[in-house]
Amino acid sequence: MAYVHIIGFEELKTTRGIAAVVAEKMFGPVGKTIFTMLLFLAVLAYVNVLLLSNPRVMYAMSVDGILPKLFARTNEKRGVLTVSLTVFAAICIIVLFFANTFEKILGFTIFLDSIGMATSAATIFMLRKRTRQLDGTGIYTIKLYPLLPLVFMAAYTFVGISIAINTPMLALTGLAVFAAFLGIYFLVVRKKNS
């Protein structure tokens, strides 16, 4: 609403770098520069979080037997997650190679995040069903349950559908990547069970 109020709906449809334009209209050219630098730092922080967390998730999945044991391999001297970090870095480089603009990279990662966040939130329903015996004990409660998780899931589903409508090739690529990793998961689980 702030964007529409400050720059107008028509300009909003065609403007690139909307946040910087809004910052400039609100705080002038100096504000735009400061805001752009802060936004850049925020993106760097997000990338840093991804580089730290995703290889650790791969490692944990490998320890749990969901991914191949290879992903649990670490450097003897430094304790670095060599395989997980290398695989994740390679995936990032491949994404950068094919998604050559910031908008494509952002759309691709947000599309995959939408799938991940919506499905992660959906697990609360499975967990609540499996731990029904704990209801009323106060171990975990959430106000407005199940409305809040449903709203959360709906918001991410809306974002994913919007990306699929606006950039179908990005969505198809994201679905292909998701399907590939889902396939690896099922292959490893089948091998583990047999």
What is the DSSP track for 5-65? Answer: HHH-HHHHHH-SSHHHHHHHHHHHHHHHHHHHHHHHHHHHHHHHHHHHHHHHHHHHHHHTT
How far is CA 159 from each of CA 10, 108, 111, 115, rounded to the nearest angstrom?
21, 12, 7, 10
- Give pLDDT, residue 151: 95
The token pair at 164 is 């699929």
Has residue 162 got a pLDDT over 90?
Answer: yes
- Give pLDDT, residue 20: 78
* C-alpha to C-alpha distance for 156 and 167, rounded to whole angstroms: 16
* C-alpha to C-alpha distance for 87 and 55, rounded to whole angstroms: 8
From the list 94, 104, 66, 16, the residue with the least C-alpha distance to 182 is 66
* C-alpha to C-alpha distance for 6 and 11, rounded to whole angstroms: 10
**Mean pLDDT on 149-168:** 94
- Give pLDDT, residue 52: 84
- Give pLDDT, residue 170: 86
**Mean pLDDT on 64-75:** 86
Amino acid at 149: P
Mean pLDDT of the chain: 85
* C-alpha to C-alpha distance for 114 and 88, rounded to whole angstroms: 19
